[in-house]
Amino acid sequence: MKINDVIYDDDAYIRGVIIKDLGEGYYNVFWFNYVIGIVSEDEENLKVIGHYNGDPKMFDDQEAREAMNRYLLEKRLADKYSFMRRDRSLAEQSKEGFIDDLYSAFGCECDDGWFPLLDELCADITRVYEDAGLPVGIKVDQVKEKFGGLRFYVTATGPQELVKEVYRLINEAEGKSEKICEHCGNPGIIRNDLAWIRCLCDECYEKKMKENLQ
């Protein structure tokens, strides 16, 4: 792929044009028809890796990089831990009439700063099952931010003591999240005076404050 290449959808409609090579197989694309995003090129197909519904516009470099980083954070987690893979997309679930798998539909509904914490938690959970000689019995129901802290809702199966240990680890990680900046991962504290309660470091908090004033 190269700059000005046109992206077609399955029905051969023109969907967008490549505007920037971001390196390592990723491209920023100007999308037509209310979809904006960046794509990656793997062996088989193009994947939209960041998009939203709204007026057509371009991602600027900064936004494109942020979307790409986010995509890679989620991909690494899913590659490493099979229980972090998402199966039924929001579109598929919507077609069936109701959304009953929130994690598959929305992924991790928190900012990038907590991904190292999520990685650590997933490794701890995996180890508990491995130590017991059992396959990981975790179904992730929802991952999100609430009242400034992480919520990691899962259904864990296995022997009672093991399941108890899994929930203890989750509790511990949720507690830790209240001291980690949700945006950048640096040490943070819960901020109650923003539009939304969030755990942020001083720098990210000041930035958010300025945005709120605009």
State the residues that interact with Zn ion by CB under 5 A.
181, 183-184, 186, 201, 204
C-beta of 57: minimal distance to Zn ion in Å?
26
Length of the chain (residues): 214
C-beta of 212: minimal distance to Zn ion in Å?
16
C-beta of 205: minimal distance to Zn ion in Å?
8
Query: How many Å apart are CA 107 and CA 81, to the nearest integer?
Result: 14
Query: How many Å apart are CA 7 and CA 211, to the nearest integer?
Result: 35
Answer yes or no: are the C-beta atoms of 139 and 81 closer than 8 Å: no
- List the beta bridge partners of residue 39: 27, 48
DSSP at 25? T
Place of tokens 């180890």: 127
Structure tokens at 3: 């700059």
Comparison of 15 and 198: residue with beta carbon closer to Zn ion:
198
Structure tokens at 186: 């640096």
C-beta of 207: minimal distance to Zn ion in Å?
8
Comparison of 15 and 183: residue with beta carbon closer to Zn ion:
183
Comparison of 165 and 182: residue with beta carbon closer to Zn ion:
182
Comparison of 116 and 135: residue with beta carbon closer to Zn ion:
116
